[in-house]
Amino acid sequence: MKISADMAPELEVGRWFNTPTPITLAGLRGRVVALHTFQMLCPGCIAHGLPQATRLHTMFTEKDVAVIGLHTVFEHHAVMTDEALGVFIHEYRLGFPIGVDLAGSGDPVPRTMQKYALRGTPSVVLIDRAGRLRLSQFGPIEDLQLGAVIGQLLAERGLASDGRQSD
C-alpha cells in the first residue's frame, strides 16, 4: 500500500460511461474520490475490485464520496474495445461513472495508469477532498480497511462537499 500527500494527477480519459458529462478531479474537489482501476478480463477485478466499487457506490453519498471506475487496458487490446466495455457495464449493472484510460503512446500501459505508477489491476486509489493522492493499493484491500481510510479522509478538516472550508 502506497500512501502519499502529493496532488493527484488529472485523469486522461478518452470516453466516459454512466455520466452525462466528462469528469475531472478538479471538478470533484470537496469530495473524497475512490478510483477503482480494472480490466474486463481480469479475474481479480471481477471477483473483488468491481464488487467493492459497487458497494462503495451504494454505501456513501455522492456528495461525500465519488466512486469512479477506470478501465485501464494494458493487455489484450484488440478485444477490450469501448463497445465491449459498454456491454460489460450493462451486464454487470455497474452504476458508477467509468472512464476509459487513454492508450499510451508507443507503450501498452495507458496514460493515467502510467501517471499513477500503478502496477496492475485491480488497484484502488483514494484522493482526499483537497485533491491529494492519499492511498494507492494494487490488489485486494479489505472492505473494512478501505472503509476506515475513507472515513478518516471524510473526517479530516479540509474542503467540504460544497467547496467551503469545513470545521
**Residue 77 located in a structural domain:** yes
Q: What is the side-by-side order of every strand in the sheet holding 98-101?
A: 13-17, 98-101, 65-71, 32-38, 123-127, 133-138
CATH number of the domain enclosing 14: 3.40.30.10
Convert the pLDDT of each residue in 6-65 to its tens digit.
889 999 999 999 999 999 999 999 999 999 999 999 999 999 999 999 999 999 999 999
- The cell for 127 is 484522493
Name the domain count of the chain: 1
Q: Please state the φ and ψ torsions of residue 118, each to the nearest 5 degrees.
A: -75, 140
**Residue 38 located in a structural domain:** yes
**Residue 1 located in a structural domain:** no
Convert the pLDDT of each residue in 108-129 to its tens digit.
889 999 999 998 999 999 999 9
What's the pTM value of the predicted model, to 2 decimals? 0.88
Alpha carbon of 160 to those of 2, 32, 46, 140, 163: distances in Å?
A: 25, 10, 33, 29, 5
Number of C-beta neighbours around residue 29 at 10 A: 17
